[in-house]
A and B are shown apart, each in its own frame.
Chain A
């Protein structure tokens, strides 16, 4: 099953993930002013929340990671050398 972690220190509480998710996986905790996971079992791991989150505060665990053929292997080699 998908596990979602939100880095509360990084989350800015903008609510973008709440608006974006079609399955209402997130809810804005008004007291904390942070996004929280309320419906994890309905997450389909599309990761559009990752793309929209300005703080990159999310982490999805145990998901099917789609192939990334669009990244050139030569680019990966360069990145690996830099890192």
Chain B
């Protein structure tokens, strides 16, 4: 059956729509267009700016993370922060803490640093990269890097960094290092 493309009706700019228009096909189409657009932006950025592309995307992600972090309660409890971070990132960035079997706790204390390994199981960035045939660990991965760091910094009021340890088609392992002692 032919999809109806045009919707006719009355519209005033000040009105808030009572319901979203479109069905799942429209959303899927929009998602795929956005994925292609993001992939294309990422590879163009890399082509023009080289390794500087990572820094640009990281900064964009960090800003988003700081904004998102403002919406949740501040805490200095790392596990609580991870829980809140998980809520901020939402179901499209489903992650959990991870540790190898020979390690007792999820967190490792090293001087004034706390290290925790995070495994990202669902990730829209990974979906986008696979949709557009781009490699993982590229500039677009730095968006999530910045986003996570920005949100952690906002929620815990400390400095953090996220290193990408390993990437795979089904999950990615990252190390979050937070530095106690203020920004």
Contact = CB atoms under 8 A, between A and B. Distances in A.
A63 interface: yes
Contacts of A46: 119, 166-173
B127 interface: yes
B130 interface: yes
Interface in B143-183: 165-173
Interface stretch (A8-16, A26-34, A67-75): A67-75
Instruction: Report the interface size class on chain B.
Output: 20 to 34
Given A22-B173, A72-B32, A48 B100 contact: no
A40 to B, nearest CB: 9
A23 interface: yes
B101 A66 contact: no
Instruction: Report the interface size class on chain A.
Output: 20 to 34
Interface string B14-47: 0000000000000010011001000000000000
Nearest to B173: A44
B100 A23 contact: yes
Contact of B169 (A22, A44, A51): A51
B169 A47 contact: yes
A27 to B, nearest CB: 16
Which A-B residue pairs are the 5 nearest by beta carbons? A46-B168, A48-B168, A70-B131, A47-B170, A46-B171
23 contacts: A22-B173, A42-B100, A44-B119, A46-B167, A46-B171, A46-B172, A46-B173, A47-B168, A47-B170, A47-B171, A48-B166, A48-B167, A51-B168, A66-B169, A66-B171, A67-B122, A69-B31, A69-B124, A70-B35, A70-B127, A70-B130, A70-B131, A73-B28
